Structure 1
Amino acid sequence: KKGSGDVKYHQGFSSNVMTPGGEVHLALAFNPSHLEIVGPVVEGSVRARQVRRKDIGGDDVLPIIVHGDAAFAGQGVVMETFQMSQTRGYVVGGTMHVIINNQVGFTTSSREDARSTEYCTDIAKMVQAPIFHVNGDDPEAVVFVTQLALDFRQEFRKDVVIDLFCYRRRGHNEADEPSATQPLMYQVISKLPTTRTLYADKLIKQEILGRNQADNMIETYRSALEAGQHVANALVGEPNKKLYVDWSPYVGHDLEDYWDTSVDVSRLQELAQRMRQLPEGFVMQKQVQKVIDDRLKMQTGELPLNWGAAETLAYATILDEGFLVRITGQDVGRGTFSHRHAKLLNQVDGSQYIPLCHVKENQPRFALYDSLLSEEAVLAFEYGYATTIPNSLIVWEAQFGDFANGAQVVIDQFISSGETK
């Protein structure tokens, strides 16, 4: 059996649970070891789920991203993801960020080394996101703040941050002894009662719970784990399949190198004619006008077909056959070499017209966005989008080839190894 190249608890999971509001699908993203890179992947997956459900605005699909304090402050992709959060091509109606703030990053805890800002959450101020600092040893305060944060997100459709201020009782991993690098911190931690003990004692003191009841809860939970039983009792035995995508038709196949992708020439000419039909009074810039006029001549054989014309025709045929197409990147409307011109701008009033949105009546969605100047977060977003709507074409275009270098972690951790992992 092949190994995955990653630890098991990075592989993600999904399930359906029953809530007072009805059945809910929970998806835990597969999270590689590279810090924070899964954040924009989740955002892309959420955007695709919203499109699939026609949930533009985010009523039905909520992104929740869990961070470490040191990574939240230190990884640049966090800033990129915040920067895209209110842009047209990437908005998801707000994200809930939960920071498990254990006051140490691997073995870095000294204030002079960890960051230059006062709080690890200060990066969120760039989008005026509310930041709630809450004591992780107070479960009721955590529940209150979580509800408050969710209410804010639902009301204002913007990001919100919960800074769960706590500590790491054990080391960074199973073999780590934290007192070797944080001796004073762990002298204090070793003497602290656990969060569960503190809360149980509080409930017993308030006579809400008896000591025997509290002890029995531990034994019941432990026995269920040892017996291999579910401890999340709200799991749905026969989940509603409409809440998620069935990937089984797309995996486990041999690669097909040869496939007939030809399209009848008469249909190509019809699609080209349709894309040349512009709104009345639409005035193009003169060089763009020549590009568009030449494409019509290419359909009659007066001029040879060039790359830009062939590419836009290819997208038109995919839409014509019923598949969603989404294209993003730093210059995708015009094209880096002024070759694509999939987005046309009226020289009189600045309005835009995208011919590929008008290929036929009731066509699938065609989305075209000139992205913010990010590679890492944008490519990660598009990867997340693609993994959620498999029966579609999702394109990210690097402005030049070496621009892909800035997104290399996405290529390494997801694209090249995604099916294996």
Structure 2
Amino acid sequence: MARHLARLLERDGAPAASDNSALLAEAWRQRGHLAARLDPLELNEPPVVPELDPAAYGLPPGAEAPWRGLYGGSIGWEFAHIHDGEKRRWMQARAEAPALPDEATRLDLLALLRRGQAFEETLQGRLPGAKLFGLAGGDGFLAAVETIFRRSLALGVEEVVMGGMHRGRLALLAVLLEKPLTALVAEVTGKSPLPQGMQASSDVPYHLGYSGEREIDGKRLRLTVSPHPSHLQVVGVVAQGRARGKQALRGEGGKGQVLPLLLHTDASFAGQGIVAELFQLSKVAPFDIGGTIHVVINNQLGFTTMPEEGRSARYCTDIAKLVEAPVLHVNGDDVTALWRAACVAAEWRARFGGDIVLDIVCYRRHGHNEIDEPRFTQPAMYKAIDSRPPLADRYAGELRGGGLDIAAAEQAGPVMAEAVKAAFDAAAGYAVNDAGWFRGAWQGFRSGGIDDMLTFVETGLPLDRIRQIGRALTEAPADYALDRKVARFLDQRRESIESGQGIDWATGEALGFASLLAEDVPVRFGGQDSARGAFTQRHLFVHDTASERRHCVLGAQAEIFNTPLIEYAILAYEYGHSLADPNRLVAWEAQFGDFLNIAQAIFDQFVACGEDRWLRSSGLTILLPHGLDGGGPDHSTGHPERLLAACARGNIQIANVSTPANFFHLLRRQMKRDFRKPLVVLTPKALLRHKGCVSAIDEFGPGTGFRALIPDAAARPERLILCTGKVYYDLAAERAARKLEDSVALLRLEQLYPLPEEELRAILAAHPRADLVWCQEEPANMGYFTHLDRPLEALAGRRLRYAGRPAVPTPAVGVKYWHEAERKAVLDAAFR
């Protein structure tokens, strides 16, 4: 141990440690957090740490006293895992130079605690038995967050974007964000947070978000807390993406002006895997937000689960070591320690642009909520809690004992109590007149309905403009030595655009991105291996084979990037980004469609229902490579049945597009309307190089736009086969082979939700005697049929026959010739 400490001293630039006192000091810097007195209930004694005993270095008892005072008190300074010497020395200096709040700050903190206490006690008194997820026992959280606000504001922050949890949510809104109490009380007592007549589901009060401003020390601070579902850690990454979007809108300096502040509880922080993912993203360039301050309310308890049952790590925060983030463990009943740690957190983020964690070790005075009885499972803990006075009482005693006049600060509690009582009186007649939906960056937008979503939008461009954009897409810097296959790829792309024939899928997509960029619409597009394309189809970057240089064919202003092998957190992040900036195309691509499985919670709880639940519009575009190509169960499906199951009230758009030009128009339409809806595109794999899946340049030209339905040219068909996506090309080839072009018509449904009902009704009515068939390559219990059969039959007024694979538990077979046999059977069923 002594030799190890000596090496550490040398690593930090200190002289070699021949002095045993120096070795003892270094031991306390490294391991002193283990001896810190963090449990306010004093039920858990710090462990015996042999390295901290002066006897281990031949020193007399008491030699450790100065170090125990610095590292063994109410803050556990955990930073020895940081490899960067400058950062470690900076944190060491903060630990060894104790700071104290001045008299005015201490009185302000007491007033803050009194307001929080009065708010919660008055609320609980008026609503006995209600689920409020109160903060009592973790009251010091208010002091820590308020200090972060104030210190960050002094360091240049102008806006704080928060993602939070249930616990203390109402106190956070009322006391720190200063949400109007009448509105807050009305929501808690069951009043709708939406204007009368607005068709939306809304959410419970402790899930709702809020945005407002406070004036602190003569400066304005914008404060936003994101709405969240019960999957608590999910919203943190959404808030980070939202912060990135806000930073981007501010331009240079945005990272210093917008602070991401995430609020956690111990059980979810330690237990949910998305936390590791968000830390993994924190230093990857497309997700860098200049550091996040994490505040953990450490209840020392899950719902009823003790720490030893809920995690393997020593601390609930150990996952933060993944990125060498410092962790300050703080006794939640020591207000001075909370103030000090919060100042350090704000300063660290401003200085180093990295993450830092405050672990506030506290307790829950009530159970998981006010209804639950925790004494059933933690009797000893709650015996100690019951005998412990509220934090505000203890802090008042501490200040009074120090000779401060606290009378004015103490009045903050009664004032808050009266304000809450007045809010209850006013809430009876309270009604929301303005949903506050489209403000700030969203000014001028609206909520589009199904009719709006089906309205044709012209998105074509002059052909000379298309060719001009195409030339830029196919030019590499003159001094680049390109791989010969990449050079041939660019030549073929250029030839297709110049000749106006054979424009393939990836070229249509690139023209869509490039045309938006040319119109000053920012584009952010990422996914696993998306820059090149998982199927080597895209080549948005070309590389100089003689060096490490690379060139983006879309231009330097495009934000095109590959991502870590993460779906869950990245989809959450990109969704959050789309919330902040409606004027930017934000697109995420799964490597294969079924990779959405891992991010299903984001799709279900945010993408599909964010507008219905929280009035949060999003234009996020999701690309899911889809199609049964013999690739086995895991690389065949984007599970369109799950997507369609989530569709209602015009909440989202689902498309399976069959031509490059239609995909081009779909991307452009996403940014050309005065409303935003999430878009999911089941993109092809086999069609990327299919000779039939090409478009002529005229299909990109003036007067053109996205076609939700592409009818067939057959005049008087005896059979009308409805389909979507790749299977159309199989059907067309089979129809030609059987010479049935005159008797069988194919109808491509390019947009699956919302359905183009009027167009469908007209076509179906024009062929009243034609046999109707729905053909899909997906199994009967997957795909589209179970969601579309009744609506299509209602539009047609007659039965719709199914042609496709039978129902199975696995999306696709894993043997190639089985797959081919199934494909032939599907085609036989369609034409029999």
Normalised by the length of structure 1, the TM-score is 0.91
- Counterpart pick for 1:162 among 345, 352, 358: 358
Cα offset, 1:55, TM superposition:
3.7
C-alpha deviation, 1:152, in angstroms: 1.0
2 CA distance for matches of 1:223 and 1:278? Answer: 70
1:347 correspondence with 2:545: yes
Q: Name whichever of 217-226 and 333-342 sits farther off.
A: 217-226
Match of 2:509 in 1: 311
Q: Which residue is equivalent to 1:228? A: 423
User: Which residue is equivalent to 1:362?
Assistant: none
Question: Residues of 1 paired with 2:405 and 2:273: CA distance?
Answer: 46
What is the alpha-carbon distance in structure 2 between the residues aligned to residue 322 and residue 186 of structure 1? 60
Secondary structure of the 2:286 match is coil
Q: State the 1:56 CA deviation.
A: 5.1
Give 1:18-417 correspondences, 5 Å limit: 18-20=215-217, 22-55=219-252, 58-109=255-306, 111-210=307-406, 213=408, 215-228=410-423, 245-254=440-449, 255-257=452-454, 258-301=456-499, 303-357=501-555, 365-417=557-609
Partners of 2:246 and 2:254 within 8 A in 1: no
Greater mean deviation of Cα atoms: 122-131 or 173-182:
173-182
- Alignment partner of 1:16: what SS? strand
Tell me which amino acid in the other structure corresponds to 1:96. Answer: I
Amino acid at match of 2:282: S
SS at match of 1:284: coil
SS in 2 for 1:387: helix
Return the letter of the residue paired with 2:573. Answer: F
**Offset from partner CA, 1:201-222 (integer Å, 9 cap, x none):** 1112222135x55653321121
**More deviation, 69-78/245-254:** 245-254
- Could you report, residue by residue, the CA deviation over 1:12-34 in whole angstroms, capped at 9, with x for unpaired residues? 00001122362121111111111
> CA-to-partner distance for each residue in 1:60-110, whole Å, 9 max, x for gaps?
11100000001110010000000010111100111000000011111111x
Distance (Å, rounded) in 2 between the aligned partners of 1:220 and 1:5: 31
Q: Distance in 1 between matches of 2:531 and 2:261?
A: 31
Please give the alpha-carbon distance, in whole angstroms, between the structure 2 residues aligned to 1:21 and 1:132. Answer: 30
2:499 aligned partner, one-letter code: G
Name the SS for the 1:63 alignment partner: strand
- Aligned 8 A contact 1:57 1:93 in 2: no
Percent identity, please: 38
| Distance apart, 1:227 and its partner CA | 2.2
Contact 1:245 1:388 in 2 (8 A): no
SS in 2 for 1:23: strand
The answer to whether the 8 A contact 2:475-2:490 is kept is no
Listed one character per residue, the Cα deviations across residues 158-192 of structure 1 (whole Å, up to 9, x for unaligned) are 10000001001111123211112222211111111
How big is the shift at 1:126? 1.1
CA distance in 2, matches of 1:188, 1:368: 55
Segments of 5+ residues of structure 2 without an aligned counterpart are: 1-196, 425-438, 614-832
Deviation at 1:295, TM superposition (A): 0.8
Q: CA deviation at 1:247?
A: 2.6
Contact 2:365 / 2:385 at 8 angstroms: preserved in 1? yes
Deviation at residue 302 of structure 1 after TM alignment: 6.8
Q: Kindly provide the CA deviation profile for residues 296-334 of structure 1, in whole angstroms up to 9, marking residues without a partner as x.
A: 101122750000111100111111122111001111101
1:231-265 CA-to-partner distances (Å, cap 9, x unmatched) read: xxxxxxxxxxxxx7343533333232221111111
- Structure 1 residues 52 and 12 mapped into 2: Cα distance closer, same or farther (>3 Å)? same
**CA RMSD for the aligned pairs?**
1.9
Is 1:419–2:611 an aligned residue pair?
yes
The 8 Å contact of residues 171 and 178 in structure 1, kept in 2 or not, is answered as yes
Q: Whole-Å Cα distance in 2 between the matches of residues 394 and 30 of structure 1?
A: 20
In structure 1, distance between residues paired with 2:440 and 2:550:
34
Q: Point out which structure has higher relative CO (alpha carbons under 8 A, 6+ apart).
A: 1
Alpha-carbon distance change, 12 to 339 in structure 1, aligned in 2, over 3 angstroms: same
User: What is the alpha-carbon distance in structure 2 between the residues aligned to residue 71 and residue 144 of structure 1?
Assistant: 26
Contact 1:245 1:389 in 2 (8 A): no
CA shift in 2, pair 1:303/1:350, >3 Å: farther
**1-structure distance, mates of 2:236, 2:500:** 50
Contact map agreement 2:442 2:581 (CA 8 A) in 1: no
| AA matched with 2:495 | K
Shift of the 21–54 alpha-carbon distance from structure 1 to 2, 3 Å rule, reads: farther
**CA distance in structure 2 between the aligned counterparts of 1:220 and 1:57, rounded to whole angstroms:** 38
Q: Quick one: distance in 2 between partners of 1:409 and 1:251?
A: 26
Residue equivalent to 2:38: none
Could you tell me which residue of structure 2 aligns to residue 241 of structure 1? none
Checking the alignment, whether the CA contact within 8 Å between 1:41 and 1:382 is kept in structure 2 is yes
Shift in Å, 1:276: 2.3
C-alpha displacement of 1:57 = 6.7
Identify the range of structure 1 (318-327 vs 171-180) with the bigger mean alpha-carbon deviation: 171-180
Greater gyration radius: 2
**1:237 aligned residue:** none
- Deviates most, 308-317 or 16-25: 16-25
| d(CA) in 2 for partners of 1:39, 1:213 | 37
Distance 2:409 2:475 in 1: 73
TM-score (norm 2): 0.47
Moved more, 135-144 or 253-262: 253-262
Alpha-carbon distance in 2 for matches of 1:29, 1:149: 21
Aligned equivalent of 1:239:
none
Deviation at residue 366 of structure 1 after TM alignment: 1.4
Return the offset for 1:51: 0.9
In structure 1, distance between residues paired with 2:417 and 2:400: 21
Partner of 1:234: none
| Cα distance between partner residues in 2 of 1:264 and 1:357 | 21
Paired with 1:345 and 1:201, the residues of 2 have a C-alpha distance of 68
Instruction: Tell me the alpha carbon deviations over residues 322-359 of structure 1, each in whole angstroms, 9 at most, x when there is no partner.
Output: 2111001111101111111111111110211002116x
Q: How many residues align?
A: 400
